[in-house]
């Protein structure tokens, strides 16, 4: 059969990985696709020594690829928002299918791109945008299509998980492990996107839209990073039977959809708690299937390339399908025309359990005052421990609560911090049991 | 758009689960498929109180469903080999697509069914045949399509994993836990298929064909059950840092494809080692993506229904695709016409590490004689422990070896068992590190 002709834009880490996987495994890929997938053109500002570009048509102008009539699919691997958006829109205007690994682009501009693609009858595929090589988009969108999804929770940023893993295993401080991760190339010199949860929120936004059939709404995601997690919190969590993971969580409730990224205590025996280092994993709860989990490398040249090429295989098949019959970009048909979809809930409305750590003056009645404030806000205490005094007169108090509404917890924390007995601010980390049953 | 009209044959556990999921989640499923998926007819020997069959066209003759011109897809959920084969062939002859959850049917008769389906241009889908609701067929066939798969290893029988989990957690004997599993309904009154590994070998046969592009060859799978695992082996493995799991393992080597089901020691820290109870999980190693893992419920009414309905969603989309462009049944095009595929290796040719336990007379020179036999067979010892004498004069000796060829180990065990110092037979359990790196 006719080959599928691909133009790769961007020849950085993922671009070179994609180039090399398509070249090395060309025979295997052709046997799977039923037709060859050939690299027709590469658009990149510079060559990459990792790739043998002999006999490849290379251009420095990526927009030339978008307009090249000999190309069926444009693979966007340049990253970033604005130029990537222009490039993808130009490719769509020229009737090309698009495969992208760009989570920021999809999370922020996806609704616009999908609309443009639907009008042109072309595919926009983005498996590589979430969790690298793990086929979680396909699993959620197709493999679990029978289910009403109840929640999903994922370790979807490898840098953050690397830092938390080493903080716990070695009892080290955040800054210390971050510096090490930077020297090893696991963290960027500006680590904000990773450690403050923005990257995870991009990916969560995409997963939630596919799970619950809502438009992409990155601007409504709650995002909290891991930079304020201390070695002491890691140790206290451990003693309580928990491990701290930086999770993206999305849950469907009667009121709407929760969409939140934050450090989270989860029970040690959960499979997600045993995902270490730079690895990613996503657990999904469906009403028919129950819990399923997807684990693997969330980043890196060839893991991400694996997902890019999987999308190319899908495109190679779907090219022959009338576009009305293809899997919708966000799993559900007509999200655009449907105003009935549930709202993304503001953070004040979410319901979860909490770990609190506060420093109090060691005098009679403190615990009673703390407990009274929580009771008045309707917060039920699961466990409360007063530790030995460590800082002069101050004693650390550790509290685990039952599930309560975030708004109530905000008010309780405001009142706790205004107590004369309590020094400084209250540390608050959310707790999720991720009950498997 | 036109609905997809489904005929369900068989209304047992999975049949009723499928009926109920299709009914309960009809709106969600239609939004995903872009068209309704409706139950046009049910063929079953008797009704099932779990299902509301009001307004459903029920027949006692399942072959009537295969011939019903108003049906697009026949869902085969009757189980077994012969009647199921006849039913599916009849449906194919009448131009119907087929979805089945029948692992035995696919593993044993799949090559014939796929050939018949290819001639008629219809789809045969079987996600539910392996690991229940986990979308592992789709992940392996499509999501990892960029990869040359190196190996896969899976806990693919929930009954066996339930038994091994409770043997380990509670230090109990095999027979004791099996009896409990039977009383709870997790094991059949005749447990042979589950505990002797036949069910796992059916599933492994299917996974291996998809991973490596070889025809289904169930008759060449090596199958060893868990009924001879003792509480002592479980305990010894634990002390060595391992846990015993009943794994299906398939690996591509330069010589061919390994295809084997047997109890296996794996390091405790591996994610697979943390899959407990009736749950299933499959780890897959690809050359580009590295290791990925898929976890969830491997059986049960609605988890299996989840996979059946996922296949129906695929059929609903693929109906509009020319069949040359569809994903091949076993992931690779032209397996049938290709004599070049690698052979399934006989068990004597596989290479793995081993745990050995033997009882020896407590006298000087025994360890030397044991070590000499192993050395003469080229078996390198990683660890050797002589325990305290427990049975009169006899002392247990525990040996962990490095990787070696099974034929050499067979000969070493034959010689060990012929030593006058060694009482009874040698226990041999294979060891796999499943190295993640």
pLDDT in tens, B10-35: 999 999 999 999 999 999 999 999 89
Q: Could you tell me which chain A residue has the CA closest to the CA of B132?
A: A289
Residue B1 has pLDDT above 80, yes or no: no
Among A113, A156, A375, smallest CA distance to A245 is for A156
Q: A387-410: buried (b, 16+ CB within 10 Å) or exposed (e) per residue?
A: eeeeeeebbbbbbbbeebbbebbe
**Mean pLDDT to the nearest integer, B173-189:** 92
pLDDT of residue A339: 65
Question: Chain B residues with CB inside 8 Å of A306's CB?
Answer: 144, 146-147, 286, 288-289
**pLDDT in the model for residue B388:** 75
Q: Is B10 annotated as contributing to ligand binding?
A: yes
CATH code where residue B153 lies: 3.30.360.10
| Measured distance CA(A179)–CA(B262) in Å, rounded | 45
Among B96, B138, B203, B245, the active-site one is B203
B13 assigned ligand-binding residue: yes
**What is chain B's mean pLDDT, rounded?**
94
Q: CA of B149 to nearest chain A CA: how many angstroms apart?
A: 10
- For residue B359, the domain's CATH number is 3.30.70.260
Q: Both A125 and A15 in a single domain?
A: yes
Reply yes or no on whether B203 is catalytic. yes
Q: Is B142 annotated as a binding residue?
A: no
B138 close to A (CB below 8 A): yes
Is A109 within the bounds of a domain? Answer: yes
Report yes or no on A337 lying in a domain: no
**B338 pLDDT tier (thresholds 50, 70, 90):** low
One domain, residues B94 and B222: no
Whole-angstrom distance, CA of residue B159 vs CA of residue A32: 34
Secondary structure string (H, E, C) spanning A84-113: HHHHHHHHHHCCCEEEECCHHHHHHHHHHH
Q: CB distance B289–A133 less than 8 Å?
A: yes
pLDDT tens digits, one per residue of B283-336: 999 999 999 999 999 999 999 999 999 999 999 988 877 777 788 888 887 766
| Closest partner CB to B305 (pick from A146, A294, A326) | A146
The per-residue pLDDT for A153 is 98
Residue A117 and residue A23 share a domain: yes
Q: Over chain A, what is the mean pLDDT?
A: 94
Rounded distance, CA B279 to CA B291, Å? Answer: 19
Q: How confident is the model at residue B436 (pLDDT cuts 50, 70, 90)?
A: low
Number of domains in chain A: 3
Q: What is the pLDDT of residue A436?
A: 62
- B57 and B147 together in one domain: no
Contact yes or no for A25 and B142 at CB 8 A: no
Same domain flag for B292 and B306: no
Q: Which among A310, A326, A333 has the least Cβ separation from residue B144?
A: A310
Q: Which long-range contacts (CB under 8 A, 24 or more apart) does B189-193 make?
A: B191/B159
CATH of the domain at B90: 3.40.50.720
- B12 labeled binding residue: yes
Over 60: is that where the pLDDT of A338 sits?
no
Shortest CA distance from A26: residue in chain B: B146
Q: Nearest CA of chain B to the CA of A148: how many Å? A: 7
Query: Is the residue at A339 inside a domain?
Result: no
> A336 pLDDT band (50/70/90 cuts)?
low
Which residues of chain A does B332 touch, with a Cβ-Cβ cutoff of 8 Å? Answer: 31-32
Task: Look at residue B236 and tell me whether its pLDDT is greater than 80.
Answer: yes
User: Across the interface, do A321 and B321 touch by the CB < 8 Å criterion?
Assistant: yes
Do A273 and A142 lie in one domain? The reply is yes
Chain A residues touching B213 at Cβ < 8 A: 28, 31
Q: Are residues B159 and B285 in the same domain?
A: yes
DSSP secondary structure, A215-281, as one string: ---GGG-EE--STT--HHHHHHHHHTTEEEEEEEEEEE-SS-EEEEEEEEEEETTSGGGG--TTEEE
Q: What is the pLDDT of residues B190-199, one digit of tens each?
A: 999 999 999 9
Chain A from 162 to 201: CB within 8 A of any B CB: none
Contacts of B286 in chain A (CB under 8 A): 133, 306
pLDDT the model gives residue A47: 93
Position A392 confidence tier, pLDDT thresholds 50, 70, 90: low
ipTM above 0.90, yes or no: yes
The model's pLDDT over B136-150, given as tens digits with 9 standing for 90+, comes to 999 999 999 999 999
pLDDT tens track for B242-252 = 999 999 999 99
Same domain, A58 and A184: no
Q: Is B149 a member of any domain?
A: yes
Structure-token match 């005929």, residue found: B7
Are B306 and B386 found together in one domain?
Answer: no
Q: Which residue of B has its CA nearest to A325?
A: B317
Task: Say yes or no: B196 and B288 in one domain.
Answer: yes
Q: Would you state the pLDDT for residue B282?
A: 98
Separation of CA B303 from chain center:
16
Residue B392: domain span? 347-431
What is the mean pLDDT of the segment spanning B325-350? Answer: 82
pLDDT (0 to 100) of residue A369? 94
Question: Residue written as tokens 């999804």?
Answer: A149
- pLDDT exceeds 80 at position B227: yes
CA dihedral B219, B224, B227, B229 (to 10 degrees): -170
Whether residues B293 and B307 fall in one domain: no
B128 and B145 together in one domain = no
């Amino acid at each position: 059969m006719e080959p599928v002709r691909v133009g790769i834009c961007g020849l950085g880490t993922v671009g070179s990985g994609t180039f090399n996987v398509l070249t090395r495994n060309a025979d295997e890929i052709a046997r799977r696709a039923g037709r060859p997938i050939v690299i027709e053109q590469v658009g990149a500002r510079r060559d990459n020594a990792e790739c043998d570009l002999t006999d490849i048509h290379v251009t420095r102008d990526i927009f030339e690829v978008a307009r090249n009539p000999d190309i069926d699919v444009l693979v966007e691997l340049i990253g970033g928002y604005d130029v990537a958006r222009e490039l993808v829109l130009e490719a769509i205007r020229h009737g090309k299918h698009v495969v992208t690994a760009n989570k920021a682009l999809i999370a922020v501009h996806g609704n616009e791109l999908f609309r443009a693609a639907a009008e042109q009858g072309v595919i926009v595929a983005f498996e590589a945008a979430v969790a690298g090589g793990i086929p979680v988009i396909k699993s959620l969108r197709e493999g679990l299509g029978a289910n009403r999804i109840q929640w999903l929770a994922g370790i979807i940023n490898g840098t953050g998980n690397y830092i938390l893993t080493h903080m716990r295993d070695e009892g080290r401080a955040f800054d210390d492990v971050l510096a090490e991760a930077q020297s090893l190339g696991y963290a960027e010199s500006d680590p904000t996107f990773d450690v403050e949860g923005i990257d995870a929120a991009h990916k969560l936004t995409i997963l939630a839209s596919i799970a619950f059939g809502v438009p992409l709404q990155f601007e409504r995601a709650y995002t909290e990073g891991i930079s304020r997690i201390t070695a002491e919190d890691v140790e206290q969590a451990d003693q309580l039977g928990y491990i701290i993971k930086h999770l993206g969580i999305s849950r469907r409730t009667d009121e709407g959809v929760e969409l939140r990224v934050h450090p989270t205590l989860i029970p040690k025996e959960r499979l997600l708690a045993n995902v270490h280092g730079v690895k990613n994993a996503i657990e999904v709860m469906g009403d028919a299937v129950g819990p399923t989990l997807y684990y693997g490398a969330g980043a890196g040249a060839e893991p991400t390339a694996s997902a890019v090429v999987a999308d190319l295989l899908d495109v190679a098949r779907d090219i022959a399908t009338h576009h009305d019959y293809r899997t919708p970009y966000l799993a559900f048909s007509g999200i655009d025309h449907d105003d009935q979809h549930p709202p993304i809930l503001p953070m004040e409305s979410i319901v979860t359990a909490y770990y609190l750590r506060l420093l109090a003056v060691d005098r009679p009645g403190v615990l009673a005052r703390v407990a009274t404030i929580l009771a008045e806000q309707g917060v039920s205490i699961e466990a409360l421990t007063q530790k030995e005094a460590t800082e002069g007169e101050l004693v650390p108090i550790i509290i685990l609560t039952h599930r309560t509404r975030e708004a109530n917890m905000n008010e309780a924390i405001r009142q706790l911090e205004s107590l004369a007995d309590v020094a400084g601010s209250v540390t608050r980390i959310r707790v999720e049991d991720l009950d498997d049953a």
